[in-house]
Structures are given as C-alpha cells and as structure tokens.
Structure 1
Amino acid sequence: MKPARTEKLVKVIANLGYGSRKDVTAMFRAGLITDANGEVLYADDRVAPADVRVDGAPLDSPQGIVLMLHKPVGYTCSTRDPGRVVYDLLPPRFRLRQPTLSPVGRLDRDTSGLLLMTDDGALLHRIISPKSNLPKTYEATLAQPLRGDEAEVFASGTLMLESETTPLLPATLEVVSPTVARLILTEGRYHQVRRMFAAVGNHVEALHRVSVGELDLDGLPAGQWRVLAAAQIEQLI
C-alpha cells in the first residue's frame, strides 16, 4: 500500500470519528499522533494509516469494519432515541464515523444478545437479505410451558402472522426446558420471534440472540464489543 500524505491522514482520521479536521490537526500539533514506533508525526511525514497511532493506540480500521456487540436489555438500535442507545456502549468516535456505523438488523429494547454493526453498506444488505438464508438463533423464555406442537407449526412454512399476507419460512424450534426454547430463523420480520409465540398462544418474557450464522458471542460479556477478524466476517457471507 502506498503511504498516504499526512494531510490526507487528517481526513482519514477525521472520517473515523476522532474529531473534526480542525480537531485532528490540533492533535498532530499536540504530538498525539505518532507512528508505530512512537515517533511523533509532523505535517510533512508520509505514513500509511495502518502505521498510525492515536494517543498510543492503533488507528481504527477504515471502511469495511464489522464489530460484534453483546447488547444488554434496555438499549435501542437508534441514534435518535431519547433513552439509552447501543452507541452509548461504544467509544464516541464510532458514532461519528463516516460512512456511518449501522446495526445489521435490529434488536428491540427488550432483546439482548449478538448485534453486528458495520459501515459497509453492501455487506450489511448481503447479511440481512432473505436470499442469504443466514440462520439466526434466538433463545426465548416463555410465560407458559410449551404445549408440544410448536416445532411442527413453526417448521410447516404455513404460519401466518397477524396483519401479514405471506406465511413465514420454515423455522426450527429446539426445546431447552418446558419454558425455554431456541428458535432458528432464516428471515427477520418485525418482532418475529415474539409474534410467532403469540400466534401459538404464548408470550415471550425474555429474548436473547445467541448467534448469526456460525458466529456467536464467544464469551463476550454483556455491554462489551469486539472488532471481527476477516475470518469471522467470512462466516457471514
């Protein structure tokens, strides 16, 4: 990769959310931007972005970043909600990145678990497209014991949700306990898991997304995040 000129790096660093171009220029002047060896960068240096450090930390990846967040209950996938939002769990610069870092699909306020976020619009649409057939696994805690025929109903491909005209694709239900079930879907309609159990006379008291494709939280604590490696991203496409 051909090293970028430092004035170009001002734009790169600003687009990654570290501040306005004026802010980033001031960071250069304050000696906060260095190379990988800790040497302060100046306006006439030529350094590749991968070798840049901001206040000692590696520069975030440029466009194409994908991260996983263990979303707790009580946070929304929005920038406009007056309450707590998932961006509150990330460093402030992630909210300011250009292009925008967006949730890949959404988990509602009362749902916890694996949430993916990316600034790669094409990748986002590939993951959420119904054509991808990417399985998503949820664990639902129910108000009432399973009655026994839910797996057959969900797998039939004929279940119709209220106010919709197209039946759901077949889904797989795994019984964990009389009041806990895992549901594997390949589509993502609005509040789908909750509405599916409502359609069979039950109510979801707690909902947690366990995995997307072959990717799971791998022990990531609630409220924490991690940037995905290239091999992990490959599991999604």
Structure 2
Amino acid sequence: MGYGSRTEMARLGKLGGITLDGSEIRDVSVRIPITPDLPSRMQVDGQPLDPVPGLVILLNKPLGMTCSHKEDGELVYDVLPERWRRRDPAISTIGRLDKATTGLLLLTDDGDLLHRVISPKRHVAKVYVATLARPLVGTEGDLFAAGGLVLEGEAKPLAPATLEVLSPAPDGRHRARLTVTEGRYHMVRRMFAAVGNHVEALHRERLGGLTLPDDLATGEWRLMTPEEIEQIFL
C-alpha cells in the first residue's frame, strides 16, 4: 500500500505505531484479513489506514494535467497522496483525457473494473461538451449519427454518435454536446476536424450513467462508493 518497506513497517509496529480496533500490533508476524472495513478499524502512525485494494477515484481533471505515470509536467497522480504511487496493484486511469481536456476522469487499482469500462463490447457512453471555433452548419448531427465516418489515418468507420447543439457559451463561443461509445485517440477533436471545425475546449461531463457532480471542484477528487460505480453501467 506504499507506506514503506517491510523493515520500516516492522519498526513502526514495534514502536506502537500500528493499531487495530484500538489495540497496538507489536507482533509484526500477525496476519490481518484485508476487508472493506479495515480502514475504519486500523490506524497507521495515528491516521486511518488508506483504502484497501479495489478503490475507485473520481477526479474532476483540470486543464494541463497528463494521464501518465512518466511524462514531464503535471500529472493526474500528483493530486493523490504521494505514497499511493507505490501501491501494488498500481493505480491507473480508466481511459485517458488528453492534456487539453477537462472533466470526469476515473482512476482505479481494480484491473477487472478498468477493462469492463473500456471494453468496446460494453458500449459505455462518454459525453463531452465541445467549444468550437466555428458554428455548426447543420449536417454534422446526421453524419455522426449514421456511423461510417472514417477518421484521417484510419480504415475502420466510427460507430454512430449523438450530437446536440447547445446555446452559446457566456463568451459567445459555439458549443455542442457529443456522445460517443468508443475511445479512439483524440476522437472527439478529430471528428469535428473531419467536418471542418476545430475544438477549442473540451470537457467530459458523463461516463455511462455517472455524471460529474456539481460539488466536485476542478482539481478535486473523492473515493467512489459501490453504488456510484454501478451507475457507470446503467
């Protein structure tokens, strides 16, 4: 879970820094079952134990953050506790948002869940609000909905997608909501480029049946409940 090496944790235990149900665990050979309620029962160095494996994090991704473990610059993992980078299994993003895209992003150490969400067989919808450089001409919705659009450099046509024209942004710029069920590289930006437009800003507001909460500020994150996780597949 990233707290330290075996030797470091043994030393902390012998000093009384690990408690379970209010009692110190000084015998470091004790084996403790990992159960969902363990963080409410165990403390490490005076603080509740971190979430056990199987955690899912909902992040309101800010502009400029990269969904990577290794790239230079600000990473989405930087907002999490530093030791969480040492957890095993590792925490990874469920799909990616590019550096210039904001909004709903999930992270997890649950590999099965990750693959359930991104699997093409699941057809989990992803909903984006795009701010465009130019007004729509009116034919884009039918083109996207029909399926068959082939992006530059690809041979496989896109699955049908739903386009909704929105009222202009407060600054007067043109906006549209696009719902897709695939996760190709820079897909939304390339779709609008294919119809002669340019995405100036992009925000993901929904994944499946899960909507980005209004009370989750940009750059903030929280752990998801099992009920919220199931909303993805509704």
Tell me the TM-score normalised to structure 1 length.
0.87
How far the C-alpha of 1:46 sits from its partner, in A, is 6.7
In 2, distance between residues paired with 1:48 and 1:123? 22
Q: Give me the identity figure in percent.
A: 54
Unaligned stretches of 5+ residues in structure 2: 169-173
Alignment-derived partner of residue 177 in structure 1: 167
Please say if residues 60 and 104 of structure 2, whose CA atoms lie closer than 8 Å, have aligned partners that are also in contact: yes
1:19 partnered with 2:4: yes
Q: Secondary structure at the match of 1:75?
A: coil
Give the CA deviation at 1:70: 1.1
Pair 1:107 & 2:103 matched: no
Q: Secondary structure in 2 aligned to 1:117?
A: strand
State the distance in 2 between where 1:146 and 1:25 align: 63
Asked if structure 1 preserves the Cα contact closer than 8 Å seen for 2:130 and 2:202, the reply is yes
1:35–1:47 contact (8 Å) kept in structure 2:
no
In structure 2, the partner of 1:221 is 217
- 2:47 equivalent to 1:57: yes
CA change 1:31–1:222 in 2 (3 A) is: farther
Q: Tell me, yes or no, if structure 1 residue 206 matches structure 2 residue 196.
A: no
1:89 corresponds to = 79
Q: Matches of 1:115 and 1:34 in 2, distance apart?
A: 34
Deviation of residue 36 (structure 1)?
Answer: 4.1
- Inter-partner Cα distance in structure 2 for 1:19 and 1:124: 27
SS in 1 for 2:2: helix
Distance in 2 of aligned mates of 1:176 and 1:31: 59
For 1:29 and 1:174, the matched residues in 2 are separated by 61
Contact 2:15 2:26 in 1 (8 A): no
Moved more, 71-80 or 52-61: 52-61
Deviations 1:105-152 (A, max 9, x none): 001111111111111112111110111011111111111112222111
Aligned partners of 1:217, 1:42: CA distance in 2, in Å? 43
Task: Indicate the residue corresponding to 2:226 in structure 1.
Answer: 230
Offset of residue 48 of structure 1: 4.9
Q: Name the structure where helix makes up a greater proportion of residues.
A: 1
Asked if 1:144 corresponds to 2:134, the answer is: yes
TM-score by length of 2: 0.88
User: In the aligned structure 1, how far is the partner of 2:219 from the partner of 2:21?
Assistant: 30
Measured after TM superposition, the shift of residue 21 of structure 1 is: 1.8
* Large movers: runs of 4+ above 3 Å: 44-49
Question: What residue in structure 2 maps to residue 3 of structure 1?
Answer: none
* Count of residue correspondences: 221
Q: Residues 223 and 132 from structure 1, CA distance in 2 versus in 1: closer, same or farther, beyond 3 angstroms?
A: same
Q: State the Cα deviation string for residues 47-88 of structure 1 (Å, max 9, x = none).
A: 555121123333223222111111111111111112111111
In structure 2, how many angstroms separate the alpha carbons of the residues matched to 1:106 and 1:136? 12
Q: Secondary structure at the match of 1:115?
A: strand
